[in-house]
Amino acid sequence: MVAPVTTNKAPESPRQVGQTRSVGFNVGARRTFDLTPVQAWDWITSPAGVALWLGDVIDGLPHAPGQPYATRDGAQGEIRVFAPGSHLRLTWQPSSQARPSLIQVRVLPAVKGATIAFHQEHLAGPRDREEMKQRWQRVLAEMESLLSAD
């Protein structure tokens, strides 16, 4: 008879929706638009597009990794990845937050148009996750409204 293997490891507590093992809480939102991927990229990285999803960036959003940015409402961060036509990653720390989170914006080709996707990680808890989920849904709805008016 083989003795059962035992460990001193405590059982894992169940995770909540959006909670990961390593990056706190995360959330994502996406929507497909009647645009080509190039048009979608150009729009989300334009001053008007950036102002909608990130805020009014002083001196514009930098396009090089390692470059800092600040918004007029007091948020700040750093560009981590800027892959033209594809995606960007940046840290984002509003003045109300104790630590930064990480935002990724992607443009994905779709069967009809292009999908714009937001993903955010390193959120402190379920309340922050819900607030950011609502924010990204509002941003996408506003994008749809603005882009359909053109």
Q: Is the pLDDT score of 9 beyond 90?
A: no
Whether residue 7 is contained in a domain is answered as no
Q: Is the pLDDT score of 7 beyond 60?
A: no
Whether residue 17 is contained in a domain is answered as no
Whether residue 11 is contained in a domain is answered as no
Report residue 10's pLDDT band, with 50, 70 and 90 as the boundaries. Answer: very low
Model pLDDT for residues 96-109, shown as the tens digit of each residue = 888 999 999 999 99
- The range of the structural domain enclosing residue 73 comes to 25-149
CATH number at residue 61: 3.30.530.20
Task: Give me the number of domains the chain comprises.
Answer: 1
Buried b (16+ CB within 10 A) or exposed e, 37-56: beebbebbbeeebbebbbbe
Whether residue 1 is contained in a domain is answered as no
Whether residue 71 is contained in a domain is answered as yes
